[in-house]
Amino acid sequence: MSQSFVDLTAIAYMVSAVLFILSLRGLSSPESSRQGNMFGMIGMTIAVVTTILNPEIVSYDWIIGAIIIGGGIGFIIARKIAMTDMPQLVAAFHSLVGLAAVFVAGSAFLNPGAFGITDAMGTMFMASKIEMALGIAIGAITFSGSVIAFLKLQGTMSGAPIMLPARHVINAAIGAAIIAGIALFAADQNVEFGGLNVFWIVTLLAFIIGFLLIIPIGGADMPVVVSMLNSYSGWAAAGIGFTLQNTALIVTGALVGSSGAILSYIMCKAMNRGFISVILGGFGSDSGAPSGPMGAETRPVKQGSADDAAFIMKNAGKVIIVPGYGMAVAQAQHALKEMGDMLKEAGVDVAYAIHPVAGRMPGHMNVLLAEANVSYDEVFELEDINSEFAGADVAFVIGANDVTNPAAKTDPQSPIFGMPILDVEKAGTVLFIKRSMSSGYAGVDNELFFRDNTMMLFADAKKMVEDVIKALH
């Protein structure tokens, strides 16, 4: 390979890295997210083109075929996927990144000479063995963990935690075995147990612990799981970048890994949760079968209709709308936007309040509101709008539950105690749309339902909002 090409490759990869950094910066805000996406796409295009122009490539048949097949599948999925299914799509993509890391590391193990990671005697360099083993272990954990997350988010598997007996002991034993296996492989790549190379044993154990880590995690902790798996996928890519000696992959993986870790920390802080406690089998479960409007609860609640809600909001000075996962399930964001516009035309001040962990992934509600073309200027995060609920005439809660539950502030025995919540109970009137009285994903009854200033609107979120729109007309 000529020195000029090496220099040009280094420059191109540096440009890609800068664009990736600008992309992350852009994605930190809804207003600049489109520009951030564009920077990311340009950076990835430069990195891919630079890589495939490598003169050491012997044949492009498999490369072109993979690009056509993978690109075609990605294009079709992106065109058809509903915004409400975005969390499980993200989980699925994470699983593919992890699986790619496993395939690359496995290929390097089977033919290390082709990857340039051997000495003159054909023995792999120790550093390469460590990088390869870490890459395949993290990749396997990412794949299997993401598969479970996908199944939970898709509803194929219950979102309730599955608590295996002695799970902490089992996980600790498997984790120790993986570390020991990596150490043995680094010392001698040919160590075998029962005829199976220690490298493949590490891989198998990593697949297993990936399943075991995510199965006990309930729906309430899903935003943390998604961001955590995002971090894992980045570190897996970085590890394989060392094996492939690809600077762009190392930098990209490190950026994704570190940003995902920071996001996981932010999510845990938003729930007043310890990151380790989430990973070791967080709280939360789906409630049982949906109950009727009064369910098993005998305390009276104030029920209202769409006409009641329309009358109250039309005569309000300020309405704060609080969207949650129920809005996503009902795909009510477009109807909600129309309702908000009608209220503004009637002279009502309308704002949207977003809790950091509302939905099934970070930014889930922001994405849905953006799809409905809700102005960014009307959307506020918890810390920016919480003080305004006391001055609001109406808090319109659509499908949010745990993130509005006063028990987080008043009940030290509650599993959500200490989690920052949206102070909707301070509004003059709370209009709460839910299908039933069932608890949220944390499995905790919401005391807000029984407050004197709360009116329950039992219905599908989209149907109720559409009925409110008709009443406003």
Residues designated as active site: 402
| C-alpha distances in Å from residue 407, one per residue of 273, 296, 401, 420, 428 | 15, 19, 11, 11, 19
Q: What is the CA radius of gyration of the chain?
A: 25
3-state secondary structure of 320: strand
Cβ neighbourhood burial of 4 (10 Å; 0-12, 13-18, 19+): exposed
Contact 365, 400 (CB under 8 A): no
* Distance separating alpha carbons of residues 35 and 42, to the nearest angstrom: 11
* Distance separating alpha carbons of residues 347 and 341, to the nearest angstrom: 10
3-state secondary structure of 113: helix
Which residues face 396 on adjacent strands? Answer: 321, 431
Contact 396, 322 (CB under 8 A): yes
Name the H helices within 315-460: 325-330, 333-345, 364-371, 382-385, 407-410
* Distance separating alpha carbons of residues 236 and 102, to the nearest angstrom: 9
**Which segments within 133-268 are labelled E, that is strand?**
192-193, 196-197
Beta strands 192-193; 196-197: pairing state: antiparallel
C-alpha torsion 181→186→187→190, nearest 10: 80
Sign of CA dihedral 414, 418, 422, 425: positive
